[in-house]
Amino acid sequence: MSPGPTTGVAPVQRPLIGLTPNLLPPEPRASYPGKFLAVVDQAMAERVVAAGGSPVLLPLVMGDDHVLALADRLDGLLLTGGADLDPATWRSEDRRFPGQPERDHFELTLLARVRARRRPVLGVCRGHQLLNVAFGGSLIVDIPSDHPGAGLHRDAARYDTIRHPVTLPEHSFLRTLLDVPSGRIDVNSVHHQAIARLGDGLLAAAWSDDGLIEAVEAPADAWTRGVQWHPEWNPNDPARDRLFRSFIAAAREHL
């Protein structure tokens, strides 16, 4: 049987983007009792596809050799949101919110390899915080308790409907990318932790009105950015689309 007709046009190459998973512990009344689930928000995968990338969920495997083998296959890394970081990752003895140390180790190992290969990295929410820790920074463990006077950054009842403005410093990547003359945009907010000490080599790219760092960039690295909000949740938002397109464009350079 002969093959069908071809157009003679080569398929568009899509960079392979690794998405780190959120690890969900077993819940007795859930659909998968006794099972740990590694999941990612479908909206995140859809945004990667819409921007021209091919998303792949990275299983949270143990053993650095497996992690490094995964990292070597990627054209870009997307550090997703989820559970708190373990304060031990930045040498804090605060144990109020222990987080998921196994996920921290997995992502920090991935990130180190991807940075060494000079591939682009986008950190979202928790991923933004992990970037800061990887660069030697620290976190505010609990905004309501440890940052008096802070505005509302998380409310379980309102979840992803909370929004607040942020200021984009002049010459920051976001202000340039989004072409915002006012330097102000509104973002969603679902976090109770935030950057305390900014990591070495990072620049603040957005500030909330109560003085918290809401985005970072690493000028000396390959394309490396972090945002505290969830851009994948903002429908019909040009800021969301431009951010993901910029990330995928940087990854495409390595095809």
Active site residues: 125, 230, 232
Strands 163-167 and 203-208: antiparallel
Q: Rounded distance, CA 7 to CA 26, Å? A: 49
Q: Say which DSSP state 39 is in.
A: E
Q: Rounded distance, CA 107 to CA 113, Å? A: 10
Q: Rounded distance, CA 88 to CA 90, Å? A: 5
CB 141 within 8 A of CB 205: no
Q: Say which DSSP state 101 is in.
A: H
Rg (CA), the chain: 19
What residues does 18 pair with on adjacent strands? 56, 77
Find tokens 């950015």 and name the residue.
225
CB 186 within 8 A of CB 228: no
Strands 213-217 and 203-208: antiparallel
Which secondary structure element, helix H or strand E, spans residue 248, and what is its range?
helix 238-252
Instruction: Report which of 56, 21, 16 is spatially closest to residue 248, judged by C-alpha positions.
Output: 16
Q: Rounded distance, CA 99 to CA 103, Å? A: 9
